[in-house]
Amino acid sequence: MVPTRREFLIIAGLSTIGVACPPLARIISAKTGTPSARNISPVAPVIAPALTAKRWGMAVDVRKCPDGCRDCIDACHLTHNVPDFGNPKDEIKWIWQERFEDVFPAENHPYIREALKKRPLLVLCNHCDNPPCVRVCPTGATFKRADGIVMMDYHRCIGCKICLAACPYGARSINFRNPRPFIRQLNPDFPTRSKGVIEKCNFCEERLSRGMLPACVMACPEKALVFGDVENPRSIVRQLLDRKFSIRRRAELGTKPQVYYIL
Amino acid sequence: MLEKALTGSRRYGIWMAILLTLFGMGVFFYLRQLDYGLGITGMSRDVSWGLYIAQFTFLVGIAASAVMLVLPYYLHDYKAFGKITVLGEFLAIAAVIMCMTFIFVNLGQPARVLYVFLYPSLTSVLFWDMVVLSVYLLLNIVSGWTVLSSDKKGIPPPAWVKPLIYLSIPWAISIHTMTAFIYAGMPGRSFWLTAIMAPRFLAAAFASGPALLILFCLVLKRFGGFDAGKEAIQAMAKIVAYALVTSIFFVLVELWTVFYGQIPEHMEHYRFLFAGLEGYDTIANWMSVSIVCALAALVLLIVPRTRKKEPVLAVACVAVFLSLWIEKGLGLLVTGFVPSPLGHITRYTPTGPEVAIAIGVWALGFLIITVLYKVFIAVRKAD
Amino acid sequence: MKLHDHGKILAGIVVFLIAATIPFWYGRGKAVSPPDLRLDTPVIQQLQDKRCVEATPFMRSNHMKLLNTWRDSVVREGNRSYRATDGKVYHASLTGTCLECHSNKGQFCDRCHDYAGSKPACWNCHLIPEEVR
């Protein structure tokens, strides 16, 4: 018997709902944005013991940065296959230098000492404790780990760029083009990214998992970058913060950034 | 009923051919964007949203404006709007589809767009915006189509349509509020971080949407033989007038807070919007046009003598639409990014391919609206 | 519905059937040899126990699922260790583990992928060691 148009539409609608039910059930029962790897059982790693922390943080001792030095930037961008597109529009940077008046506009005033006015300050992702970028990401492609690192899942990112808009620090970049041809020297130990996804500093989580400190920290000739567990009072970063006064960028926004500047 | 859109006058055929050509051009350039990457547009690391999201933001307002016809008729029995609520719902359909398309063409990895529904992040306003937009689209398709086909059969619409239409009233408010929340929830962008963002969006929506509807009604009278009625058109014009006044007032109160409060970062954005910064004054120039259009339209709409003359009313509606398209489009968008969080001024100019893709999406919207209105006219003519 | 144009309709149906069944009749008689997978990479030749992470039949059907599981485990959970069904623990890495043995992507991975017409997007990002060195 030939169904009437009404009957056909009702059957089609119910079938669509029936097909949609399993994914809906999975969505409703899944944890927000984080799928579970059901088949993996935690076991002792085969590689060098990973560095772990309750909460990773970094202190930037600005006084120690030599003029014209870019060792940390070069090390980071080399280690992570960060491309150089050669123009500021498409630029990708994970760590770079800005002037004091731009990094700390609220603390700036006309009588700041000259040395500080002229000194380039390092800026990078602050791996905030209350990150607005994580809050706005529609797919959970950027998420906060238990140890505080704000991660990027390049496989999940749809390239909507809302995280670039939400970041109060301008720490994120998007691949406006295919980056492969623009990587001067490929590091085989780290993947590249594809066009259309967002990237930023990842506190070298892949190095931490192999028992190594971040590339920028290791590259600095003056040990101006101090990295460690800010929740461990005996870590070197906490010891430094105990000795010296430190400030954070735009802390009044409540993002709880974990990069501390000693000026 | 869709078959009614397949036949028409020569003029109709030429109009559709033009729209299809523009749409095809948009598709061509979108394929180039897929190949090259988003770098083919003028977007940059600092100004990371541009023409596409500006159009999306403006068009969500147009989509929401259907409520300005539905609410008076269904909640308050304002009979004059009875004939044209379907026109509002059809406009909402075309506008929402344009919104979703603009979001799609803005994505760096569009093949993954369904991840928004497969891996939802419940704290993300963008996720909720997609949900409410999709539901709103369905609400309007179902209610608009059902009411029109009941009209065609000469019977009253079925009872189950009423609750859906009632639902679409708060839902229309919600879609534009959600979109406003995308902007108004970013702590780092002080230009957008204001509670009045949602009211501003709604006021602009209720001015620009009915203005567009008035223009469509005038077109339908001239070319389609459908007369919405003087009372309906004048009522819509008054709605536009009041909404425009409200929208202008909301901008003025923002200016007060910013310039009397004297917080430097907040002032910088508004200086850029109205005067330009460091020689970059493109947006400011566009805003001058927006202001002139808004004030001219306001006068024409408030004075009854000019409002009642339909050619003048048409000019006023075009002026309102243009003014708010500028202000709630690139005006709102680029200003949020200039200066950047690190105080840099980065210029944004949409590139040729970007404009072509945007025009292609507008053409798609006009194609949908033409088809739907053609069906509407055919059904009404048969009465 | 009046069948005024049954000539045109029948012609249309015939054209559709021909087009829709192209996969079945286009390559008839042509012999396409199954993919010839080369397993003679230097690393594999030096292996005592020539076994992959999991058994070959499992890998053949499920390597994509396994890689997706590794992806989520490494990126989203920070867990880079994979315990195989035989109890051995591997470092979950496409470039670092899979391609360490199967360093001849062109004569291994690509052979089946080309045969099946699949284009995995993994290589957009994950580096192939022989192309880097």
The closest CB to that of B188, out of A98, A132, A137, belongs to A132
- CA dist., res. B300 & res. B315, Å (int): 9
Q: Which of A6-10, A172-176, B86-90 has the lowest mean pLDDT?
A: A6-10
In whole numbers, what is the pLDDT of chain A averaged over residues?
A: 88
Q: Is the pLDDT of residue B250 over 90?
A: yes
Sheet of A225-229, strands arranged across: A225-229, A56-61, A259-262
Identify whether B339 is preceded by a cis peptide bond (ω within 30 of 0).
yes
Measure A101 CA to nearest chain B CA, in Å.
Answer: 9
Partner residue opposite B186 with nearest CB, options A88, A165, A170: A165
State yes or no: pLDDT of B232 exceeds 70. Answer: yes
Give the A-side interface with C, CB within 8 Å: 34-35, 37, 39-47, 143, 145, 147, 151, 153-155, 178, 186, 188-194, 205, 209
What pLDDT is recorded for position A28? 46
Say how many CB pairs under 8 Å bridge A and B.
Answer: 169
CA dist A175 and A198 (Å) reads 6
Question: Which residues in chain A are closer than 8 Å to C119, comparing Cβ atoms?
Answer: none
pLDDT of residue C2: 63
Beta-carbon separation of C125 and A193 below 8 A = yes
For C94, nearest residue in chain A (alpha carbons): A191
pLDDT the model gives residue A30: 39
Question: What CATH number is attached to the domain comprising B337?
Answer: 1.20.1630.10
Instruction: Judge contact between B92 and B38, C-beta under 8 A.
Output: no
**pLDDT at site C50:** 84
**B341–A170 CB contact, under 8 Å:** yes
Predicted pLDDT of residue A20: 58
What pLDDT shows up at residue C32?
80
Q: How confident is the model at residue A24 (pLDDT cuts 50, 70, 90)?
A: low
- What is the pLDDT at residue A3? 74
The residues, any chain, with a CB within 8 Å of residue C115's CB and separated by 6 or more, are C32, C34, C35
Q: Quick: pLDDT tens for B146-179.
A: 999 998 899 999 999 999 999 999 999 999 999 9
Structure tokens at B372: 């739907």
Give SS3 for A228: strand
pLDDT, average across residues B92-98: 97
**Weakest-pLDDT range from A15-29, A186-200, B121-135, C46-60:** A15-29
Residues of B in contact with A248 (CB under 8 A): none
- Does the pLDDT of residue B330 top 50, yes or no? yes
DSSP class of residue C123 equals G
CA A65 centroid distance within chain: 23
Residues listed for chain C: 133
**Is the pLDDT higher at B105 or at A17?**
B105
**B136 closest CA partner among B59, B36, B76:** B59
Could you tell me the two tokens for B267? 């002032």
What would the pLDDT profile of A229-243 be if each residue is shown by its tens digit? 999 999 999 999 999
Q: What is the pLDDT of residue A47?
A: 55
Kindly list the residues from chain A whose CB atom is less than 8 angstroms away from the CB atom of residue B45. Answer: 88-92, 164, 170, 173-174
Q: What are phi and psi of C59, to 5 degrees?
A: -65, -40
Inform me whether the pLDDT recorded for A22 exceeds 80.
no
B272-325, pLDDT tens digit by residue?
999 999 999 999 999 999 999 999 999 999 999 999 999 999 999 999 999 999
A21: pLDDT confidence band, cut at 50, 70 and 90?
low
**C4 has a pLDDT exceeding 80:** no
For chain C, which residues make up each domain, given as ranges? Answer: 35-132
Q: Which residues contact B143 (CB under 8 A, 6 or more apart)?
A: B89, B161, B164, B165, B168
Please say whether the beta carbons of B47 and B337 come within 8 A.
yes
Cα–Cα distance list, C32 to A6, B269, C28, C114 (Å): 49, 65, 10, 12
Tokens at residue C103, please? 């360093």
Chain A touched by C58 (CB under 8 Å): no
For A166, the closest of B110, B186, B342 (CB atoms) is B186
pLDDT level of residue A42 (50, 70, 90 thresholds):
very low
**Cis, bond preceding A45 (omega within 30 deg of 0):** no
- Percent share of chain A, pLDDT over 90: 77
The closest of B275, C124, B217 to A180, measured between CA atoms, is C124
Give the model's pLDDT for residue A5: 83
Q: Which residue has the higher pLDDT, C75 or C131?
A: C75
A35 closest CB neighbour out of C72, C82, C124: C72
pLDDT at A36: 32
Residue B127 CB partners (closer than 8 Å, separation 6+): A138, A139, B116, B120, B121
Calculate the CA A108 to chain-centre distance: 26
Given a cut of 50, is residue B98 above it in pLDDT?
Answer: yes
Chain A residue at shortest CA distance from C69: A37
Confidence of residue A34 (pLDDT cuts 50, 70, 90): very low
Q: Please list every residue in chain B whose beta carbon sits closer than 8 Å to the beta carbon of residue A28.
A: none
Burial (Cβ within 10 Å: 0-12, 13-18, ≥19) of residue B121? buried
| Contact between A197 and B342 using a beta-carbon 8 Å cutoff | no
Backbone torsions φ then ψ of A194, nearest 5 degrees: -105, 170
Q: What is the pTM of this model?
A: 0.90
Question: What token pair was written down for B15?
Answer: 């109009």
Enumerate the H helices of B65-153 as residue ranges.
67-70, 76, 85-106, 115-118, 125-153
Task: Give the pairing of strands A150-152 and A142-144.
Answer: antiparallel
| Chain segment B186-212, per-residue pLDDT in tens | 999 999 999 999 999 999 999 999 999
Question: What are B69-92's pLDDT values in tens digits?
Answer: 999 999 999 999 998 999 999 999
Q: Compute CA A125 distance to the chain's CA centroid, rounded to the nearest angstrom.
A: 5
SS3 category, A169: coil
State ipTM: 0.92
Q: Are A192 and A186 in contact (CB under 8 A)?
A: yes
Q: What is the mean pLDDT of residues C30-36?
A: 83
- Arithmetic mean of pLDDT over chain B: 95
**Contact residues, chain C, for A186 at CB < 8 Å:** 127, 132
Distance CA C108, CA C44 (A): 13
How far apart, in whole angstroms, are the C-alpha atoms of residue B201 and residue B67? Answer: 14
Q: What percentage of chain B reaches a pLDDT higher than 70?
A: 99
Q: What is the pLDDT of residue A172?
A: 97
d(CA B60, CA B91): 11
Q: Give the nearest partner residue to B108 out of A85, A91, A195, using CB atoms.
A: A195
Nearest to B106, CA basis, from B168, B177, B56: B56
Domain coordinates in residue numbering, chain A: 56-262
Spatial separation of the C-alpha atoms in residues B371 and B380, rounded to whole Å? 14
Q: Which of A2-6, B93-97, C54-58, C118-122 has the lowest mean pLDDT?
A: A2-6
Q: How confident is the model at residue B355 (pLDDT cuts 50, 70, 90)?
A: very high
Question: Which chain A residues are Cβ-neighbours of C132 within 8 angstroms?
Answer: 186, 188
Report the pLDDT averaged over residues B102-128.
96
The Cα–Cα gap between C123 and C95 comes to 10
User: Residue A1: which pLDDT band, with cuts at 50, 70 and 90?
Assistant: low
Phi/psi at B8 (nearest 5 deg)? 180, -175
> Which residue of A lies nearest to C89 if distances are taken between CA atoms?
A46
Query: Chains with 3 or more CB pairs closer than 8 angstroms to A?
Result: B, C
Pick the CATH number of A56-262 from 3.10.450.50, 1.10.600.10, 3.40.50.300, 3.30.70.20: 3.30.70.20
Q: Which amino acid is at B14?
A: I
pLDDT of residue A39: 28
Start-to-end C-alpha separation, chain C:
69
Summarize the confidence of residues A22-48 as an average pLDDT.
40
Per residue in C86-114, pLDDT (tens digit) is 899 999 999 989 998 898 898 999 999 99
pLDDT tens-digit readout, B133-143: 999 999 999 99
- The total domain count for chain B is 1
Q: Cβ separation of B37 and A168 shorter than 8 Å?
A: no
